[in-house]
Amino acid sequence: MSLPIKINALRLKEYGEVVEIKQDIAHISGLANCINGQAITVGENGTRGVVVGYESEYVLALIIQHHGEKTRPGDQVQSTIDSFTVPVGGGFIGRTVNGLAQPVDGRNPIPADALYPIFGSAPGVLEREPLSEALETGVKIVDMMNPVGKGQRQLILGDRSTGKTAIALDTILNQRGKDVLCIYCCIGKAETSLAKVADLFAERGVMDYTTIVAATASDPVGQQYLAPYVAASIGEYFMNEKRRNVLVVFDDLTKHAWVYRQMSLLLGRSPGRDAYPGDIFYLHSQLVERACRLGAARGGGSMTFLPVVETVQGDVTGYIPTNIISMTDGQLYVSTPLFSEGFKPAIDIGLSVSRIGNKVQWPAMRSLAGILRLEYIQYKELEKLTRIKAGVSQAVERRLKKGRVVAEILKQGNTDPVPIVDQVLILYALTAGAMDQLEPAQVSAWQKGLSAFIRRERPDIIRDLEVQKKLTPELKEALNAQLATYGGSAL
C-alpha cells in the first residue's frame, strides 16, 4: 500500500519504507512517483541512496553512503522527487574527492558553485560543432599516428599491466600550460595504485589543473558505480559554465562493469552474454556520449574522454571491450607481446585507429606522418619474414635498419611526454635523411639532442612552428641548415 505524499515548505516530498535490504540494495514501498536516478534519504541519520530500478510492488534503491547505523527493514525513506545531484565548482581544481564529490584529501570543505545531476543528458547534435583542435597527448606514437581531438572519445584497451594507465597519465602531464583542465577518475583500483598517481601528480605540479575522483576497491559499491558519472558532471560544469577544455580519464570502465554486475545480481536482473545484463551498454553509452565540443552558441568548450578498458589475453571481442569500441571514436590497443619485447608504449599500430583526430592534426605533422604508419607496419611484416631466413640481401637489410630506427623513434619512457613541435622536428629529420647513418641504439640520444640544439641555436624556428603549425619553404630551409650542422657534430 502506498504511503501518502506530503507537502512541506512548498516542495513535494514522498515517504516510503524499507521492506528488505540485500547488502546495499534496498527494496522500498510507498514511492509511487519516483524516477530512475532520483535521490532518496533513509532513516533519521540521513543515509543517502539513489533509485536504480523497479519491481511490481517495490522501488529498488542503491545505498551509497551510510550515516550512523546501517539501513534496516522498517526504516523510513524520504524523497523530494529530485534527480541525484553533486556539488561542482572551481574549488574542485587541485582536490581529491570521492565518488560523491566529497573531499577526501584531509583539507577544508569545497565550496559549491552549482549542483549538477550525475546522470545528465548529453548535448544535442545542434549544440555541438565538428572538432577543430588537437589534444596534444605528448605520446609520440599517438600524436603521430593516432591523434586525438578536443571533444573526442578515444579508448585505451589492453591486458593487465601493459601500460594503459601510463598513456593516460602522460596525456595529463602534457596538458601543463595548454589551458586544459584534467579529471582523473579512479574506479575500483587498489589504494596503492591511486597513491602512486597522487604522488606523481604532486611531484610534477599536475594538481594545479587537475581533479582526482577516487572510488577505490575498498569504497562502497555505490560510490564505485557513481564515480564516472560524477567525474563527467564536474567536467561538464567547466565546459558549460567556464567554457573550458576538459580531459577526463576513466581508469577503468572494466571494473565499473564488474561493480554493475554485482549490483545486477542483487537486483535480480537476468545476465546475458558473459554474464552482463544488457543494460550495461546503455549505462556506458549514456556516459561517453557526454563528451563533445560545444558550438559557439554554447560557449565553445569541450570535454574529451579517455576511457580505459582491460582485456583478457588480448581478446578484444569480449562483451565490454566491443561495447565501448562501438561507442568511441577510436581505440589505442596496447599489446602484451610488444610490451614483452620492450617496445613501450606498447601500442599495436595495426589494431589502433583514430576516426577523428587526423582531421585536427597539425598540417606539419600530417604531411610528415602520412606514410609513417605504412612504413612501420611493412617493417614489422618484413621482420617476421626474415626471422626464418639465414641471410637477407643488402636492400632488405637497409629496409630493416630504417624500420628499426622508426621503431626507436616511437619508443618513449613513462612520465616523459614530448611536445608536438619536438615530434615534428624528429619526423622532419627522418624524412630528410638526417638519421640514415644512425644505428638504432643511437636514436634516443640523437633525437633529444636535436631538439635541445635547435632550441638553443634557432629558437625562432620553434616559435614559428608553434604559431604556423605547418612547414613553410623558409622553415624547411632553416631546418635543413640546422640538420646539416647538428648531424655532423652529433655523429
Spatial CB neighbours of 429, under 8 Å, sequence gap ≥ 6 = 435, 447, 450, 483
Per-residue buried b or exposed e for 79-96, using 16+ beta carbons within 10 Å of the residue's own CB? bebebbbbbbbebbbbbb
Contact criterion met (CB below 8 Å) for 34 and 14: yes
Of 204, 298, 355, 373, the catalytic one is: 355
Q: Is the peptide bond before 105 cis (omega within 30 degrees of 0)?
A: no
Q: Is the peptide bond before 103 cis (omega within 30 degrees of 0)?
A: no
Q: How many residues does the structure list for the chain?
A: 491
Q: Tell me, what amino acid is at 53?
A: G
C-alpha cell of 198?
597522487
Q: Name the region of 314 (left: φ>0; alpha: ψ -120 to 50; beta: rest).
A: left
Spatial CB neighbours of 407, under 8 Å, sequence gap ≥ 6 = 343, 376, 379, 440
Backbone angles phi, psi at 308, to 5 degrees: -110, 135
Burial class (CB in 10 A: 0-12, 13-18, 19+), 490: middle
Q: Round to whole Å and give the CA distance between 90 and 112.
A: 8
Contact criterion met (CB below 8 Å) for 141 and 350: no
Q: Tell me, what amino acid is at 314?
A: G
Nearest-5° angle of CA 106, CA 107, CA 110? 125
Q: Is 355 annotated as catalytic? A: yes
Half-sphere exposure in the Cβ direction for 348 (13 Å, CA): 19
Spatial CB neighbours of 384, under 8 Å, sequence gap ≥ 6 = none
Q: Which of the residues are catalytic? A: 355
